[in-house]
Structures are given as structure tokens and as C-alpha cells.
Amino acid sequence: MIETRLGEFEEVILLLAGILGEEAYAFKIAEEFESQTKRSVSIGAVHSTLTRLEDKGFLKSEMGKSTAERGGRRKRIYTLTAYGKKTLATARDFRQSLWNQYPGFATSKLSVGL
């Protein structure tokens, strides 16, 4: 199960890659991460995580079209794989089930399709 275990940072990056869709490349994801979490991160760190997630099969990537604003250089666009989506859902469900078992939140039971 080691390959499918997601760290917190990995999970967020994976989600952001999904959210950004066509615009999901290292720099944009880092920007989005910073603006959404108010935590600073280097592009290198994000890039390294993206590579790792790709190795694990959660993401796949290909080079996009060239744009003038980056000196004609192409971007590497990441997209979620089906396996990636499933892993995200499993992670969310697992967490949800934990929340449900926690008595402190028993009163505000969220309806989850089970």
C-alpha cells in the first residue's frame, strides 16, 4: 500500500493539478498553492512532488504549446489519471469514515452516500 499512500502536501498538489486542468503546470500550481494555503513554496519543491506523483501513476504529463510570455518555451501540463482520481476519492472517503467515528462530531452527522 506504500505507493498509494498520499502525504498531505501530495494530496493538495494532486487536487490543485485537478482544479487547474489545462493550466496545471509547476509554476501555476505553486502560485495557486501559495494563494490558497498562504504558505510559501518553491517551484522546485512543487516540481519534485509532481515528478514523484507521476512516478506513482497518479498523474500523467505532456508538453503543452509554446507561449510568447515565457520566451517561447513550452510548459509541462499535468493531468490526473483515473488511478489518481480513485486514490483521491479513497483518501477522502477514508478520512470521512474517521470523522464519522469521532463522537465529538456525532451531532452534526454529514450525510455521505455509502
Residues that bind other proteins (CB under 8 A): 25-27, 30-31, 42-45, 47-48, 51-52, 63, 69-71, 73-76
Element (H, E) at 66: strand 59-66
Identity of the residue, 36 or 48, whose beta carbon is nearer to other proteins in the bound complex: 48
CB of 86 to other proteins, least distance (A): 25
CB of 49 to other proteins, least distance (A): 10
Burial 16-50, CB ≥16 within 10 A → b, else e: bbbebeeebbbebbbbbbeeeeeeebeeeebbebb
Identity of the residue, 15 or 43, whose beta carbon is nearer to other proteins in the bound complex: 43
Identity of the residue, 6 or 29, whose beta carbon is nearer to other proteins in the bound complex: 29
Q: How does DSSP assign 76-110, residue by residue?
A: EEEEE-HHHHHHHHHHHHHHHHHHHH-GGGSTTPP
CB of 22 to other proteins, least distance (A): 15
